Structure 1
């Protein structure tokens, strides 16, 4: 028996549902804009997301199977009542469509937001966005953040409530500088990664990506997107 593994970009239509789906993946990205994120860090997030989505590998992945595109939505989150869509649902059917979406994201500016970190609510809101796209074969929610939830429903409660929706929730955790105490980002990353694994991510193939700091956000986001848009296809030859 010879097992052949093919790493390919895009989600291949391996089931009847995927074969006839109008889009192959609904992808929702949630960006943390709570009080712990300053103006510089906010800009690094937005610019980093634009850089990651426009990178060669991710652009190529998004352009795979344009007749069954990835549909993308981006929102910002902070307190329990503070979630704002900055890129509405966009089917990435061509490079001009992607470029228009990137320009819209690039033009986003910092708004007033509540200081709280309502991670559980952000998860619920992101899942509700995914529910708007039953025409997509798979549904993925990405939550980026630099801290633990401190207000609203708890992330573990939200995750339990979403467990039967058939969605994947991945995390991107960001270390922050603590100049007075030295660079503690690695310790923060380890603790926050563990927190996300225990309370946030959902699904068989769910994972946590890490950015050592906001300066590393673009590279971390690109790694995460490449992984999410890649599927391991295997077959047995007898």
Structure 2
């Protein structure tokens, strides 16, 4: 019964590939990490350390092994006004602690740098390409995106987000609120309504530097385990939908739509 459910989920996420073969990994997971100029070097280091500690933690390995196939495919990159392609850690299958350590070692060896601008749309587009063109077929596909600001360069966020969701890619968010951006729209609402999306999507806020590691671990464990955070009931609020164009400065060119 569980195998049938895995195949159904894979077909819903990517029907064209599902027709060719069954999944070979439980999850295709891309970590898209914000290193824009508003993230200082100290915060970037703490953020990197959070991912390294999670990859090396026994709970992460146990979550991987708990899947039906017991393996995931994972990739990583950093972004600011555009994607830092030198930061890319290529796809790797993780089945055990040795695999996770190998991936963590590659990430640890990458230099840390920050860049000007915040293009969430470029990060989503790049992550979409990585998922669509890799050599693996996952029952689930997730783009895990951290960020501390609004999309302010590149394509409109709605264009990139809608394209990813149409391809069956779930977008989750790690919202960095250590130095909140001054705006008429709370960043958490912006991420909730304009960035994350897809079945079971969620975001986790980080309000203090010392919370990075635990937030990253919680997020990856939920994603690998196919879970979502428990929800706390809140009073309904009457407010207009977020204008997802807030902060956007449209470029003089229009990037062509991504095609397979």
Secondary structure, in 3 states, of the residue corresponding to 2:166?
coil
Residue 215 of structure 1: how far off its partner (Å): 2.5
Q: What is the CA–CA distance in structure 2 between the aligned matches of 1:67 and 1:81, rounded to whole Å?
A: 32
Bigger RCO (CA 8 Å, 6+ sep) = 1
Residue 94 of structure 1: how far off its partner (Å): 2.1
Q: Which moved more, 1:66-75 or 1:220-229?
A: 66-75
Question: Are positions 1:120 and 2:111 aligned together?
Answer: no
Q: What is the CA–CA distance in structure 2 between the aligned matches of 1:204 and 1:117, rounded to whole Å?
A: 26
Q: Tell me: CA distance 1:66–1:98, structure 2 relative to 1, closer, same or farther (3 Å).
A: farther
- Which of 198, 206, 209 aligns to 2:204? It is 209
Which has the larger share of strand? 1
Alignment correspondent of 2:154: 152
Secondary structure, in 3 states, of the residue corresponding to 2:186?
helix
Secondary structure, in 3 states, of the residue corresponding to 1:117?
coil
Q: What is the CA–CA distance in structure 2 between the aligned matches of 1:78 and 1:118, rounded to whole Å?
A: 6
Alignment correspondent of 1:196: 191
TM normalised by structure 2 equals 0.74
Q: What is the CA–CA distance in structure 1 between the aligned matches of 2:7 and 2:35, rounded to whole Å?
A: 39
Whether contact under 8 Å (2:7, 2:139) holds in the other structure is no
Alignment correspondent of 2:29: 27
Question: Are positions 1:220 and 2:221 aligned together?
Answer: no
Alignment correspondent of 1:16: 7
For 1:107-154, what per-residue CA distance to the aligned partner results, in whole angstroms no more than 9, with x for missing partners? 22223x530101111111111111124522211001101111111112
Number of residue equivalences:
212
Q: What is the CA–CA distance in structure 2 between the aligned matches of 1:15 and 1:107, rounded to whole Å?
A: 35
For 1:166-185, what per-residue CA distance to the aligned partner results, in whole angstroms no more than 9, with x for missing partners? 110000011124xxxxxx69
Question: Are positions 1:135 and 2:126 aligned together?
Answer: no
Secondary structure, in 3 states, of the residue corresponding to 1:36?
coil
Spell out the pairing of 1:1-238 with structure 2 (5 A cutoff). 13=3, 14-16=5-7, 20-65=22-67, 67-80=69-82, 82-111=84-113, 113-133=114-134, 135-177=137-179, 191-231=186-226
Whether contact under 8 Å (2:64, 2:225) holds in the other structure is no
Q: Which moved more, 1:79-88 or 1:137-146?
A: 79-88
Q: What is the CA–CA distance in structure 1 between the aligned matches of 2:55 and 2:175, rounded to whole Å?
A: 18
For 1:64-123, what per-residue CA distance to the aligned partner results, in whole angstroms no more than 9, with x for missing partners? 358551100010011135444432101002221111111222222223x53010111111
Whether contact under 8 Å (1:174, 1:214) holds in the other structure is no
Structure 2: 5+ residue stretches without partners: 11-20, 228-260
Q: What is the CA–CA distance in structure 2 between the aligned matches of 1:34 and 1:169, rounded to whole Å?
A: 19
Secondary structure, in 3 states, of the residue corresponding to 1:229?
helix
Structure 1: 5+ residue stretches without partners: 1-11, 178-183, 233-238
Q: Tell me: CA distance 1:68–1:56, structure 2 relative to 1, closer, same or farther (3 Å).
A: closer
